[in-house]
Amino acid sequence: MSSVSDFVIKNGILKKYIGSGGDVVIPEGVTAVADHAFCGCRNLTRVMIPEGVTSIGYEAFADCEKLEVVCIPNSVSTIYWGAFRNCGSLKKVTIPKGVSKIDWRLFENCCSLKQIDIQNPDIRIDDAAFDGCCGLADSDGFLIMKGVLFDYFGKGGEVTIPKTVARIASYAFYDCKALKCVAIPESVTEVSENAFKNCGELTVILPESIKKAKSAFSGCACRVQIKRWSAAVNRLMADCVLEEAFSEDYSAFPPAELLSRAVKLSKEKTWDPNAQNESAMLAALKKNAGKLSGSATDDLEQLNFLCSNRLITAKEIDAYLAEAEKREKPEIKALLLDYQNKLGAESVAKARAKKEKAKKDYEDALVERMTARDPSKGVEGLTIAVTGRLETFNNRNELKAFLADNGAKLASSLMAKVDYLIMNDPQSDSDKAQKARELGVEIITEQRFNELAGHLFSIEEATLVRYYGNGGDVVIPDGVTIIGHETFFCCNGLTSITIPGSVTSIGDGAFFGCKDLTSVTIPDTVTSIGDIAFCGCSRLTSITIPGSVTSIGDGAFSNGLFDNNSSIIIHAPAGSYAEQYAKKNNIPFVVE
């Protein structure tokens, strides 16, 4: 058993455990377990955390490979990322009701974890929270929680995702080369970025239900089956190599995929198959459409493609009808007769032009309204409606309270008097989006709302927890003492950051992936810079680090998580810790 001498405790914070492990009971009176407090304690088997502890720090129990039991009291409200990563013997965990988020890589590689009791039904779970937790997967290898498919540990081949899944998380099937075919059910409405990255050659059966998606198939060569191609699916498949695409509505394909499909449909190569844009390909087809009557009247799909794109002229239709009659193809003839009738109808073109004009007028009005509003008023006097999941507010009540504090109100339903509808996909064709356009209600993203409201920073007890702005030149408010973990994570629009003299530490991954960041001002009050703090900031070519800094984490300035090289030049005083760090990590150094 442990004794008081096994712990380094200051002001109620357990800074470090220096005992030999085994069964450990943390002393009463401790209010927080600090970052790395038990990290690497390989003989720790059981730990009892007393009531009164409110937070467990970053990687507090990481790499405790023999830890089997951890008792977390109800008083804990915050568990920072990686707290139990690489605890390969951990079997069961209860997350108290007061914890609002299961953070990034919290249980990474806890391969023996088979049961997790989450007492807060509204808890948010980071996509990478359970990486490598194969014990939590079902018999088919799916790790599913709260309707989200977080990871797949199956044997691959032909896989059908369960109908209980509403969202597929980032990297859920990452590098699963054994996966050959995946069928996604209609229950799925969202697929997150890189969900199927590097899965090689893959057949994908997609539903029409997907409304929210980012590039999910980077590094894949895909054959796609879907009833109708949509804007969301276009985003979903953006970075893959599309080998084939099958759809009932070929006219809805985006340019690159339309070109690829057209080449496969035609039996006569009358245009350049390597053409880079749809308009050039369509022009070539239109020029030679009359020569395709022979092959088109043998192939219903090819003829449907030509008709859908109006590539057969009124003068050519008789030749096609004659070919259909000659070849005794009644279904082809019926399609051609229907197409012939449509050629004379101009109403479709007029309706399309009217719709495009209405869309442009709507967008112009939105820009005019936003630029005309006095920015100093924020959201004062506005009525806001919301649809979809919020990222920067835990729930609708939190947003409602924020609006009330700023002289605005949350609408219970969408109506004409509403000023803005918050929707994170303004191009959505959902019923609510269409109703907003009919009522003349402007649709804005949550990001744009935060800018309008001046709700750019989340600060808790002098710690900057999250930045919600769109980037540019950002000045952190005075009074902030800690820039927290991943505060500006992948904020691509961030170009420069000014840190006030009140800040003493910069957390792990604070500016991770801010690829447009070119300028950072670090004051001489800062003493520590965390792991991967500026990792992936590819345009940050130099940084000045004051002599006050005495701790810099691993990969703080690396090019990427798996690339320890750095393209940055460190400027710092001679003999400073920053100089030692630069030399140790082969980073160019200039005496400041």
**Fold of the CATH domain 137-248:** 3.80.10
Structure confidence at residue 363 (pLDDT): 56
**Tokens of residue 454, six digits:** 């001046």
Contact status, residue 296 vs residue 271, Cβ threshold 8 Å = no
pLDDT top residue among 360 and 253: 360
Structure confidence at residue 354 (pLDDT): 63
pLDDT level of residue 358 (50, 70, 90 thresholds): low
**Tokens of residue 124, six digits:** 């948010």
Structure confidence at residue 460 (pLDDT): 81
Contact status, residue 229 vs residue 209, Cβ threshold 8 Å = no
**Tokens of residue 290, six digits:** 């009359």
The answer to which of 32-46, 54-68, 371-385, 499-513 has the lowest mean pLDDT is: 371-385
**Fold of the CATH domain 375-453:** Rossmann fold (3.40.50)
Rama region for 198: left / alpha / beta (φ>0; ψ in -120 to 50; rest): left
Q: Please name the helix (run of DSSP H) or strand (run of DSSP E) that holds residue 332, with its range, or none.
A: helix 330-343
Three-state secondary-structure class, residue 60: coil
Q: Which amino acid is at 272?
A: D
d(CA 446, CA 393): 10
pLDDT tens-digit map of 237-256: 878 877 766 665 444 444 44
pLDDT tens-digit map of 208-247: 899 999 889 988 888 888 877 777 888 898 788 777 666 6
Domain edges within the chain? 1-136, 137-248, 375-453, 456-592
DSSP secondary structure of 519-576:
EEE--TT--EE-TTTTTT-TT--EEE--TT--EE-TTTT-SBTTB-----EEEE-TTS
| Residue 65 DSSP code | T
Contact status, residue 476 vs residue 503, Cβ threshold 8 Å = yes
The answer to which of 30-39, 387-396, 401-410, 553-562 has the lowest mean pLDDT is: 387-396
Q: What percent of the chain has pLDDT over 70?
A: 82
**E strand intervals along 398-513:** 409-410, 420-422, 442-444, 457-460, 463-467, 472-475, 482-483, 494-498, 505-506
Q: Tell me, rounded to whole angstroms, the distance of Cα 93 from its chain centroid.
A: 27
pLDDT level of residue 257 (50, 70, 90 thresholds): very low
**Fold of the CATH domain 1-136:** 3.80.10
**Tokens of residue 536, six digits:** 């992936």
Measured between its terminal Cα atoms, the distance across the chain in Å is 51
pLDDT level of residue 534 (50, 70, 90 thresholds): very high
Structure confidence at residue 311 (pLDDT): 74
Q: Tell me, rounded to whole angstroms, the distance of Cα 319 from its chain centroid.
A: 52
In this predicted structure, the answer to whether residue 370 has a pLDDT above a threshold of 60 is no
In this predicted structure, the answer to whether residue 439 has a pLDDT above a threshold of 50 is yes
- Domain 375-453 and domain 456-592, same fold? Reply is no
In this predicted structure, the answer to whether residue 394 has a pLDDT above a threshold of 90 is no
- Percentages helix, strand, coil for the chain, rounded to the nearest 5? 25, 25, 55
Contact status, residue 141 vs residue 153, Cβ threshold 8 Å = yes
Task: Output the CA torsion sign for 474, 477, 482, 484.
Answer: negative
Which residues have a Cβ under 8 Å from the Cβ of 336 and sit 6 or more positions away? 303, 307, 317, 320, 321, 324
pLDDT top residue among 575 and 333: 575
In this predicted structure, the answer to whether residue 84 has a pLDDT above a threshold of 60 is yes
Q: What is the length of the chain?
A: 592
Q: CATH code for 456-592?
A: 3.80.10.10
| Residue 27 DSSP code | P
d(CA 364, CA 139): 53
Mean pLDDT of the chain: 83
pLDDT tens-digit map of 258-315: 444 444 433 333 334 343 445 545 555 555 556 555 555 666 666 777 777 777 777 7
